[in-house]
Amino acid sequence: MHWPRGLAVKLAIVFLILGLVPMATVGIIASYVAERTMAEAYIENFVERVARDAAINLDTMLRSSRRNIDLLGASSSMRQNVIALYAYQREERGYAQAIADIQSDLNDTVEILGTVDLLAVVDLDGRILVTSNLARSPVSTGRLGGLPAGPRPLWSDESSNPLEGRRDLVERAWWREARESTSSDIDWGLEALVLEQYGYPPFGDDATDQPDALRERNAEAYAFGFTRAIHQPDDVAGTLGPQAILVAFFNWTAVQAFLDNINSEFQNQHEQYRSGYTFLFGRDFDTVIAHRYRQLYGTSLIRDHGQEGLRQAIEQSPRRSGHHYYTYRVGKVAGFAPVATTGWEIGFGINESDYLEATRRMRDLMLVIGLIVAGLIVLFIAVTSRRITRPITNLIKQSNEIARGNLDARVETSSRDEIGLLGDSFNKMAEDLKASNKRLVQAEKTAAWREMARQVAHEIKNPLTPIKLSAQLVERAWDDRHPDFEAILKESVRNIVGQSESLRKIASEFSNFAAFPKRDPRPCRIVALARDCVRSYENRASSGVEIRFESFLDEDIEILVDEDEIRRVFYNVFNNAFEAMPEGGLLSVSLFRLEKDEGPTLDIRIKDTGRGIAAEMTERLFEPYFTTRSSGTGLGLAICKKTIEGYGGTVAIRSEEGKGTTVCIELPLDRLRPKPTADGDAAEPVS
């Protein structure tokens, strides 16, 4: 396939390059700079700020919850009642009253805060003394529904507490710190005491046919909390050590709902960042403890999600605040900040497609503008190229006329620009070329006639000398009354006749070479013709030349040629071969059929064992008037070449001095007309 390469196409390419390349370059640079600028100057600060604000707000909420627990644990009524528990026996009325007062304070706190699942007062040995027995207000984030509306008791028998006296809490990881400090945190996780009383389902969906790893976790089943040491009422806090520990288990929906609210508000305020959402990691910066996809609860950032780089960025950032680029299904950037109260790490992530959307819109806009500009350029070229290319097309057309020999071709010029000057130059060149051609033709004719005259004079001079000598010999013999006058007369006449025949032959050869061949093509049996030409030379036995003939063709095969022309070709080649073997030798004539790429070919090989020809002279043997003999016109082989090529064939000579010469004649076999034999088979080779 060849693409058009006209001037209009080239102009279009040039204009498109000049128009689009700068615009594309500017667009690419602008897009790159915009992306880099937005990423460095805006997006990074943006995600860090959102994460930091979320961390501050979450920390404020957690501090408020902790402060409420601290106030409850430090209240005088709580401290007085805890002292009463140690002052009275279990069966005494004062003990029961203290238990009732503490439980009332705990239930009031549960009802006021609304996010507390369970409050418990625990002695220093980890034995539960008293707990709240009022269920928290319902807050549901699962699909199965939440708790029944309104306060309700956790157990039906208010006189008995199923948790009283249990020592489960000493097995918790946070218990040691709670016993040794005034206040401490209870990290995120599942709490058996809470689950037993509330019966929270572990999953927030009903897809029981799915593997547990793919199911949505129920946020209500998880808890976090705080502890507060309860001191004696009349000492300074912390100097004499605690008398008991207040333990508060908050439902995880408080934290998850906080993150969900941030996500919802963010979506409403920043529609261009639809993919933005918050997530929360535990104190190890690896465990996902809050996420908009509940299936990810408890998964590992490194082990399950392959985000070791994000964890390292959190650990290595000053004050655990910063940002990080990573890929999780798609390219993302996340800001992160610590939650001071609990040591958790809150993050906020945005997809790359969102924060680069503005620059990509700008890039697409520039692309559309570029295409519009390209269309206008093409339209402009379509309108103007015809005017530009018409004189050039005309110039090309007239140049082809000149190439075909029409020296009268001219171009019309109507402009005075460079193309008009080119047309004037072309017309002047055509005039000069026509004049030069006339002079050249005349010079060639003169040279040809001069050369022809020289050759004719040279060739005629050779026979004229013996004719003159023979005539003079007859004249002297007559004058001298020579006794052998009759013999001298006969010999001289014979010599004169022979030289006259040579003159006739010379004239005939010049005539044949100069004239167009008047052919009479007829079907000719090439094998029989070649054999007949060979037999006409077999009577020269005295020359000492042995003749061999062999054919690998069907005897009846015919070739459409002028028989006399082909016969003269054979005679010319045979004569040259005999003259090359004055002391005798071998002349071989062979006929073959060859299969070539261009089709089947008739191959004729005529080989002699004569003196051969030098390699540098072989190439000139077919030139008119060139000969290696002392006599002859030098036209024989030139006529042979002209004849063979007239039939679409080729003739070549291979020779080596001292070893002989081979003439190779090839004719296309499509000129052959084979005749089948009687039994349908090809004839056997003839030799």
pLDDT band at 284 (very low <50, low <70, confident <90, very high): very high
Whole-angstrom CA distances from 26 to 21, 304, 353, 358 are: 8, 43, 22, 16
pLDDT band at 612 (very low <50, low <70, confident <90, very high): confident
Model pLDDT for residues 290-302, shown as the tens digit of each residue: 999 999 999 999 9
CATH code assigned to 517-673: 3.30.565.10
Minimum mean pLDDT range among 8-22, 318-332, 619-633: 619-633
Model pLDDT for residues 129-180, shown as the tens digit of each residue: 999 999 887 654 444 344 444 568 888 776 688 999 999 999 999 999 999 9
Torsion of CA 172, 178, 184, 187, to 10 degrees: 0
What's residue 236's pLDDT?
Answer: 44
Strands 288-290 and 277-281, how do they pair? antiparallel
Minimum mean pLDDT range among 248-257, 323-332, 455-464: 455-464
**Mean of the pLDDT values across residues 557-563?**
83
Minimum mean pLDDT range among 331-340, 480-489, 522-531: 480-489
Q: Where are the domains of the chain?
A: 75-256, 407-515, 517-673
pLDDT band at 354 (very low <50, low <70, confident <90, very high): confident
One-letter amino acid at 647 equals Y
Contact 230, 246 (CB under 8 A): yes
What's residue 673's pLDDT?
Answer: 46
CA distance linking residue 64 with residue 60, whole number of Å: 6
Contact 282, 344 (CB under 8 A): yes
Question: Which residues lie closer than 8 Å to 230 by C-beta, 6 or more apart?
Answer: 73, 74, 78, 79, 82, 121, 242, 243, 244, 245, 246
pLDDT for 672 beyond 50: no
Model pLDDT for residues 28-59, shown as the tens digit of each residue: 665 555 555 555 567 888 899 999 999 999 99
Model pLDDT for residues 361-414, shown as the tens digit of each residue: 666 776 777 678 777 777 777 677 666 677 777 777 778 877 777 877 777 777
One-letter amino acid at 241 equals G
Structure token digits, residue 624: 């008119």
Minimum mean pLDDT range among 147-161, 556-570, 666-680: 666-680
What's residue 127's pLDDT?
Answer: 95
Mean pLDDT of the chain: 80
Structure token digits, residue 613: 């020809």
pLDDT for 4 beyond 80: no
pLDDT band at 509 (very low <50, low <70, confident <90, very high): low
CATH 3.30.450.20 assigned to domain 75-256? The reply is yes
Q: What is the CA radius of gyration of the chain?
A: 60
pLDDT for 283 beyond 90: yes
Model pLDDT for residues 628-650, shown as the tens digit of each residue: 554 555 566 777 888 888 888 88
Question: Environment class of residue 604 by beta-carbon count within 10 Å: exposed (0-12), middle (13-18) or buried (19+)?
Answer: buried
pLDDT band at 510 (very low <50, low <70, confident <90, very high): low
CA angle 20, 26, 27 (to 5 degrees): 85
Contact 287, 281 (CB under 8 A): yes
Question: Which residues lie closer than 8 Å to 472 by C-beta, 6 or more apart?
Answer: none
What's residue 206's pLDDT?
Answer: 82
Domains 75-256 and 407-515 share a fold: no
**Mean of the pLDDT values across residues 407-423?**
73
- Percent of the chain at pLDDT > 70 equals 75
pLDDT for 669 beyond 80: no
Contact 496, 463 (CB under 8 A): no
CATH 1.10.287 assigned to domain 407-515? The reply is yes
- Percent of the chain at pLDDT > 90 equals 32
pLDDT band at 272 (very low <50, low <70, confident <90, very high): confident
Model pLDDT for residues 112-123, shown as the tens digit of each residue: 998 999 999 999
